Amino acid sequence: MKEDLIKIRNEIDEIDSKIVELYEARMRMSERVAKYKIENHKPVLDKEREKIKLQKVGDLASSEYTKNCIIDLYKQIMSMSRERQYQLLTEKGQIQKPNFKALDELDFSNSKIVFQGVSGAYTELAMKEYFGENCDNFHVNTWKEAMEALKNNEADYAVFPYENSSAGIVAENFDLLVEYDNFIVGEQIIKIEHSLLGKKGSKIEQIKKIYSHPQAFMQCQNFVDSHKNLNKISMKNTAMAARKIKEDDDYTQAAIASKSSAEIYDLDILQESIQDNKENYTKFIIVTNQKIYSKNAKKISVCFEAPHESGSLYHMLSHIIYNNLNMNMIQSRPIKEKNWKYRFFVDFEGNLDDSAVINALVALKEDAVSFRILGNY
């Protein structure tokens, strides 16, 4: 039996050698195809040709099972072939870089910054960390209003919470990036430490209502669960919740907010660090209405809608894999007015000047139903 196994393995090795040889021969043919397309200014992706080819190779299979496997294999071979063609087209200057302007560095002098909330908001803390304590800024009530301020040139930059290490993404802001023609140019990560704040002289035993943002409630779930008698009331912002406690002047009300909010609104800290995760961080994005990026930018964010067919997401992500790019994040969001269909948000490492990045972006755009570069930062 052992000799039979050795013989089988030797035969597999021989077949694998032939497969490698044939694969390399096929890729050489792809290079010849690329040369023809360069000379004749033809697009790389020919969906009808690929559809016919997949049907043809599938029909060569001896069973339904192997037919499906062969089709999957050839989808990958075709994807790798396209990647090679994109590389050659890029080398010959046939593929243009994305229409973004590269800057040596972003200039924030004389810039006006907008953030959602009021004084003491975590977004304000992130803004000051990124732009400096004395940056020229103003605040609005909603994230949508911040996007509108950029659209109407009332602000040069806006700051938005994007993702929390405990509670996950801030879904509304993902959707707003799609809705508005604004772009990410930076990010700031800050540690989030929540405190329970009450009126001066109040005691935790007196509290009947807690005000805060839904994300803060999620990040303090253990504390909230251990005080089931308290009525939770959502606010647009943690600092707005703190301000309400000050304005209402009620011993039975409290807010989950930052320590700085306690100082700003002259409140007592009834309990510190009530978040579940003591290493609780939030990533904030810096957004502008200009298609710009810093020459030393290292991360790219894109969003796209994949074709509603088997394996489409897998094959689209292969453009990132085959260009040797490292993916940092993938999220999905429902597409409005398209029930059970989703838009994908992907972050990967790279710069818009990199040829591998350009190849990946062009391939993603060609395969997607819709595609957008959200920023390079």
Distance set, CA 60 to CA 12, 54, 103, 201, 350 (Å):
21, 10, 53, 82, 41
Which tens digits make up the pLDDT trace of 128-169? 999 999 999 999 999 999 999 999 999 999 999 999 998 899
> What's the pLDDT band for 41 if we cut at 50, 70, 90?
confident
Residue with structure tokens 């930018």?
297
Q: What CA–CA distance (Å, rounded) separates 119 from 116?
A: 10
Q: Are residues 167 and 307 in the same domain?
A: no
Question: What are the tens digits of pLDDT across the range 297-314?
Answer: 999 999 999 998 888 898
Residue 19 lies inside a defined structural domain of this protein: yes
The CATH number of the domain where 12 resides is what?
Answer: 1.20.59.10
The answer to whether position 101 is within a domain reads: no
Q: Kindly state the percentage of the chain with pLDDT values over 70.
A: 99
**Structural domain contains residue 218:** yes
Domain boundary among 232, 267, 294: 294
At residue 1, does pLDDT exceed 70? no
Same domain flag for 73 and 1: yes
Cα–Cα distances in Å, from 316 out to 86, 311, 346? 14, 9, 11
Burial class of residue 103, CB neighbours in 10 A (0-12, 13-18, 19+): middle
pLDDT (0 to 100) of residue 151: 98
Same domain, 212 and 71: no
Classify residue 49: in a domain, yes or no.
yes
Instruction: For residues 262-278, give the mean pLDDT.
Output: 96
Q: DSSP assignment of 256-302, as one string?
A: EE-HHHHHHTT-EEEES---S-SS-EEEEEEEESS-EEETT--EEEE
Distance CA 158, CA 286 (A): 6
Question: What per-residue confidence (pLDDT) applies to 311?
Answer: 83
**Which CATH number covers residue 140?**
3.40.190.10
Domain limits for position 362: 297-376
Q: Is the pLDDT of residue 172 over 70?
A: yes
**Which of these three, 33, 68, 95, is where a domain ends?**
95
Residue 271 lies in a domain: no
Q: Is 263 domain-assigned?
A: no
φ and ψ of 151, to 5 deg: -55, -40
- On whether residue 103 sits in a domain, the answer given is no
Can you read off the two tokens belonging to residue 3? 């000799």
CA distance 256 to 167: 15
Nearest to 342 by CA among 329, 325, 330: 330
Same domain, 286 and 156: yes
Residue 228 is predicted with a pLDDT of 86
User: What distance in Å separates the CA atoms of residue 224 and residue 230, rounded to the nearest whole number?
Assistant: 8
Catalytic machinery residues: 282, 284
Instruction: Identify which has the larger pLDDT, 63 or 41.
Output: 63
The answer to whether 216 touches 274, Cβ cutoff 8 Å, is no
User: pTM score, two decimals?
Assistant: 0.85
Where helices occur in 60-195 by DSSP H, the ranges are 64-91, 122-131, 143-151, 171-179
**pLDDT tens-digit readout, 201-249:** 999 999 999 999 999 999 999 999 999 889 999 999 999 999 999 999 9
Residue 270 lies in a domain: no
Alpha-helix runs per DSSP H in the chain = 2-40, 47-59, 64-91, 122-131, 143-151, 171-179, 214-219, 221-225, 238-248, 259-264, 312-322, 355-367
Using the Cα atoms of residue 47, residue 35, residue 57 and residue 7 in order, give the sign of their dihedral: negative
Same domain, 188 and 286: yes
Does position 269 have pLDDT exceeding 80, yes or no? yes
Question: Taking the C-alpha atoms of 29, 34, 40 and 44 in order, what is their torsion angle to the nearest 10 degrees?
Answer: 120
In whole angstroms, what separates CA 99 from the centre of its chain? 20
Give the C-alpha separation, 319 to 1, whole Å: 43
Collapsing DSSP states into helix, strand and coil, what is residue 158? strand
Percent of the chain with pLDDT over 90: 79
Confidence tier at 183 by pLDDT (50, 70, 90) = very high
Among 44, 60, 95, the domain-final residue is: 95
Please tell me the total count of domains within the chain. Answer: 4
Q: Residue 56 — pLDDT band, cuts 50, 70, 90?
A: very high
> Average pLDDT of 177-195?
97
Q: Looking at residues 324-337, what average pLDDT do you find?
A: 94
Whether 28 and 2 share a structural domain: yes
